[in-house]
Structure 1
């Protein structure tokens, strides 16, 4: 049975060409995250030794990549977006491969009619990288099961924003290294379980009522004039309405499906469980590299007044390790965030 364990990290800096620029022989701290439907970040602090200082002086934002391993297993990779050189120390900040799409726009006019959202999302990603690919792959874990008609114009809108609009209509995405995963929001495959014994210092269960919407109105492109609606007065919560414009939607069916997807995701008040600053026990029945947003954990907790016994979707992960010093040994902490969406709520 897999357990979380106490991991040790290694890091290196690679050039855009793939050549090794520097290896972090003295890694004093490292942190990497994963996030659902967004761009994750990482940070590494290195004490230069030998000729490493000269090598680290040659790294450059967007030209260089930070690559992180946990116990020798590749867990994070992405372009460096910030560097601070100081006396005896270099701090590197990076974002995952999706960050490139935040700096890209559609490169051709493209229209989809009744296409699965995974097909549209895959085209957006491939088109975004096509003119200048730093190295990526796309894996469609499963079809969205939601179809729609969308139209994109060359040079209009950021690719990552377009991808985010699709994520609000029925598909999820996340980056693991240089691979971008597309999966349906109904993906409920578990990768482990957590109970109160795995979180000896407790956890926090919260509801965010601001995320509730029982009725959605989605307006399509101005030329189509379509307006989709879904939901209405909830017998428990009452009426909470939201309106949004999605100008890439071109027909009524797509507007209705987009409204339906949003209503399913927000029709109940989201329950979020966060381990906050509490590390998961090394004996927890999870494999840390397998904690991928979009997959699920079976969570059982009675440590708060809100009892939870539910399969919940992983929405975020934070792993950090400090190298410590003579007086304070280093340690690893693993925090995970899970949430109930419309797909997980019984």
Structure 2
């Protein structure tokens, strides 16, 4: 059985853009602090702190040449690569050198879309056809990074070979173009993912250099780990909160002052347990069809019915070194079951991992995680 364990050391390597060719590596003895995280549907960050006195003159000279976005930071937990991404800030004072970096989704945040977004064809032979939202996300990323007029070279951030997909079972139709279907939406690629595809059921995260384009896990998916309260070093809280609960999710583009021509989408079931329990989501996005609104409602339904029961881990607490889960399994989005025996609300419940926060320094390693309730999506027919 895998366990989290306690690493013997952390190492940091500065690579050239692309994460393959090394530039320099501060010695383990000069590395005084390391922090990194993994997160769901957001860009994670990492930082290392180097004691200049222990680094030596040669290493210090190389560190002084570290260039944001020309170099990338890689972090190793013992021999395992746990984090990688482009450097975005370098700070030096009299005694220390700090390098901060963001994961590879930062390349998508710094690259503007230059392609037509019309994935509406039912013909699978069409290069831009309907399909799982994860496939559409990869197609948008690939078309923008593979080349084009403004690219210095094909796939300049070296991301395309490291994309991993877990597709939804439902095909999506996605369109975001002008009225003549020939106008390009000029926004960062990451905004397309965040504003348009995540509400339709996309989940993304990074592990090392891999960009994972996934879907919300359900009770049909196997758990990566099964934890108990003994797996946590510190107290935990169980909260059953109805704030975001709903049996029906409505999405509407209707405005309060002008309801002419408005449309809506709805997803969910009429509940005999909760009665009428609705959530209304308003969107100001233009050009959305009733099908688009239904996709957003479906993507927003997961985890609302039944009322979610969350597990909270206070700041400063984290996983025990004996927790039966390896760092390789701690991927945001995966299912992790927790058996909260000995609590009044104690029961084995499936959760989704949303965040991993790791700090390493003089006091060793602390691994904190955040878990959110796992719920099944509504699988009814679209309008």
TM-score in terms of structure 1 length: 0.87
Name the structure 2 match of 1:170: 201
The secondary structure found in structure 2 opposite 1:92 is strand
Among 4, 22, 25, the residue aligned to 1:23: 25
Q: Deviations over 1:82-111 (max 9, x none)?
A: 221011211111110011111222211131
Quote how far apart the aligned CAs of 1:245 are: 2.6
d(CA) in 2 for partners of 1:101 and 1:300? Answer: 38
Is the Cα–Cα contact under 8 Å of residues 168 and 261 in structure 1 kept in the other structure? yes
CA RMSD for the aligned pairs?
2.7
| Residue 133 in structure 1 maps to residue 134 in structure 2 | no
Is the Cα–Cα contact under 8 Å of residues 106 and 127 in structure 1 kept in the other structure? no
Name the structure 2 match of 1:228: 265
Q: 1:334 to 1:149 in 2, by over 3 A?
A: same
Q: Bigger shift: 276-285 or 38-47?
A: 276-285
d(CA) in 1 for partners of 2:275 and 2:85? Answer: 42
Q: Which 5+ residue runs of structure 1 have no aligned equivalent?
A: 325-329
Quote how far apart the aligned CAs of 1:257 are: 2.7
Among 295, 308, 311, the residue aligned to 1:273: 311
Name the structure 1 match of 2:353: 314
Among 269, 280, 295, the residue aligned to 1:257: 295
Q: Bigger shift: 236-245 or 46-55?
A: 236-245
Which structure has the bigger radius of gyration? 2
Q: Which 5+ residue runs of structure 2 have no aligned equivalent?
A: 121-129, 178-183, 255-260, 379-383
d(CA) in 2 for partners of 1:301 and 1:230? Answer: 31
Corresponding pairs, count? 336
Q: Deviations over 1:242-275 (max 9, x none)?
A: 2233747754334323212212344444433233
d(CA) in 2 for partners of 1:254 and 1:177? Answer: 33
Structure with more strand by fraction: 1
Is the Cα–Cα contact under 8 Å of residues 313 and 344 in structure 1 kept in the other structure? no
d(CA) in 2 for partners of 1:163 and 1:209? Answer: 28
TM-score in terms of structure 2 length: 0.79
Is the Cα–Cα contact under 8 Å of residues 37 and 356 in structure 2 kept in the other structure? yes
| Residue 336 in structure 1 maps to residue 363 in structure 2 | no
Q: Bigger shift: 170-179 or 2-11?
A: 170-179
| Residue 298 in structure 1 maps to residue 322 in structure 2 | no
Is the Cα–Cα contact under 8 Å of residues 274 and 336 in structure 1 kept in the other structure? no
Q: Which residues of 2 match residues 170-209 of structure 1 at below 5 A? A: 170-186=201-217, 188-207=221-240, 209=242
The secondary structure found in structure 1 opposite 2:360 is strand
d(CA) in 2 for partners of 1:157 and 1:166? Answer: 14
d(CA) in 2 for partners of 1:281 and 1:182? Answer: 29
d(CA) in 2 for partners of 1:260 and 1:209? Answer: 19
Q: 1:19 to 1:227 in 2, by over 3 A?
A: same
